[in-house]
Structure 1
Amino acid sequence: MTEEEKMLAGHVYDAADPELVGHIVDCHDALYDYNALRPSQLAERTVLIKSILGRTGEEININQPFRCDYGCNISVGERFFANFNLVILDEARVTIGDDCFIGPNVSIYTACHSTNVEERNSRREWARPVTIGDNVWIGGGTTILPGVTIGHNVTIGAGSVVVRDIPDNSVAVGNPCRVVRTLSNPSNLS
């Protein structure tokens, strides 16, 4: 297997692999161009972000600046909106559903590193996918850790650190993030 194949399969891989580093540099160059566009250049922004990400819905709006590692491992659904300073470390797949809103300064991580110093310094790591369902609102300053699945019709409170799965029809907050309310009627999220 190539290092990229290992990475996407969730195996330990060499993060310093020249081919992977090349993909990251290419993505970062494209993001440099995206982040330099004027906010009024909506058509250009849409075309460029769709070329960076793996899959998008028709309507997508990601306020600049935006950062990711590969871009091609990110899939977002219809009517996606992300506010300023979204960071997605997409060493594994990140899948986000339809009608999702992400507040400012949100981070989504898939990369995992050993707590053993020697292992960590070897640049060997692994990655776990993140999945976010439809109709999800993620409050500003939230961090979502590797391997997490957030269900449909979920609100994540601002400043949360999501370390485990969050079920459908939930309001969840805190560090660590936990469900504080289950919605009996998900169409009424207030």
Structure 2
Amino acid sequence: MSASERTKMIAGEWYTCIDNDLEALRVIARDAVFEHNTLSPRQRGNIGPALSALLGSAGERARIEAPFHCAYGFNIHLGEGAFLNAGCTILDTAPVRIGQRTLLGPNVQIYCAEHHKEAAGRQAGLEIARAVTIGDSAWIGGSAIILGGISIGDGAIVGAGAVVTRDVPDNTTVVGNPARAVKRG
């Protein structure tokens, strides 16, 4: 018996995202995101009830502003007091860990999925999932993009609009496209 596409995704192997079981999981996430994005702030609280139940974990006082989008939700882990500003998108085909007291500016995008390099592979929906880890007390500026497989250290700063294609050490500031270090702790 061959492994399911979800099993391959979780294992970090090539899988096809064109799969009924994965689509069913994405529908659950879209419903939870819709509720989160359409509830009044007083009803929603820090994280809408359905989205809160879907997340892998969320520390006390973690907050996600609306609008928000994610692919699956269950791969997202938010530390105590983590804050995601309006417009954030997390395509969580792999685990995304956001540390305690870490701040994401508006429209930050985290992409765990990497599509196949060959056209035929892309047409077949082939992708591979790579985890993202952001340490404690980091600050990710508005509209930054973080690619899969990246680790951003404790206290690091990613400048607004940066595209992070390499790991960022603790207490380092990176800017630009691709992001490059301008200050080390």
Judge same fold: TM > 0.5, yes or no: yes
Paired residues for 1:1-190 under 5 Å: 1-43=3-45, 45-183=47-185
Task: Give the whole-Å Cα distance in 2 for the aligned partners of 1:45 and 1:111.
Answer: 24
Task: Give the whole-Å Cα distance in 2 for the aligned partners of 1:45 and 1:95.
Answer: 16
RMSD across aligned C-alpha pairs, in angstroms? Answer: 1.2
Using a 3 Å threshold, how does the CA distance of structure 1 residues 153 and 44 change in structure 2: closer, same or farther?
closer
Q: CA deviation at 1:45?
A: 3.8
Q: CA deviation at 1:3?
A: 1.2
The answer (yes or no) to whether the contact 1:142–1:160 under 8 Å persists in 2 is yes
Task: Give the whole-Å Cα distance in 1 for the aligned partners of 2:162 and 2:154.
Answer: 18
Q: CA deviation at 1:41?
A: 2.1
**TM-superposition CA deviations, 1:12-45 (whole Å, max 9, x none):** 1121111011000111011111100012224484
**Percent same amino acid among aligned pairs?**
44
Task: Give the whole-Å Cα distance in 1 for the aligned partners of 2:76 and 2:47.
Answer: 17
Q: Structure 2 regions of 5+ residues with no counterpart?
A: none
Give structure 1 regions of 4+ aligned residues with deviation exceeding 6 angstroms: none
What TM-score does the superposition give when structure 2 sets the normalisation length? 0.95
The answer (yes or no) to whether the contact 2:36–2:49 under 8 Å persists in 1 is no
**TM-superposition CA deviations, 1:120-144 (whole Å, max 9, x none):** 0011111110110001000001000
What TM-score does the superposition give when structure 1 sets the normalisation length? 0.92
How many correspondences in the alignment? 183
Task: Give the whole-Å Cα distance in 1 for the aligned partners of 2:107 and 2:169.
Answer: 23
Q: Structure 1 regions of 5+ residues with no counterpart?
A: 184-190
Matching residue's letter, 1:41: Q
